Amino acid sequence: MHDQADIGRTLSRQLQIAQREHMNAMKVLDEIVSAVPSGLPHPDGAFRVEQVGREYRRALASYRNALHRYTDFVLHGIIPEDLG
């Protein structure tokens, strides 16, 4: 069993990792989109935009989940089942 401080540190670390992954995915997506001046990517580029968009959505969902877990713990004392 973990104590409150350990749980808080774990959730904070998970949140930081998820935030960093989200920011990196957003940066890559912005770079890909801005590399297409007309707004219409080359056929090969369309596949790349789709891949990057999928990774961005995954990273955003992970960040939202980590943020939810962290705020539930900090604000309401809810300990995630996997850390309890």
Q: d(Cα 14, Cα 16) in Å, to the nearest integer?
A: 5
What pLDDT is attached to residue 40? Answer: 59
Of 68, 69, 75, the residue nearest 10 (C-alpha) = 69
Q: What is the mean pLDDT of residues 12-21?
A: 98
User: For the chain, what are the domain ranges?
Assistant: 4-78
What pLDDT is attached to residue 17? Answer: 98
How many whole angstroms from its chain centre is CA 17?
A: 8
What pLDDT is attached to residue 38? Answer: 64
Taking only the tens place, the pLDDT of each residue in 20-74 is 999 999 999 998 878 776 665 566 677 888 899 999 999 999 999 999 999 999 9
- Global confidence as pTM: 0.85
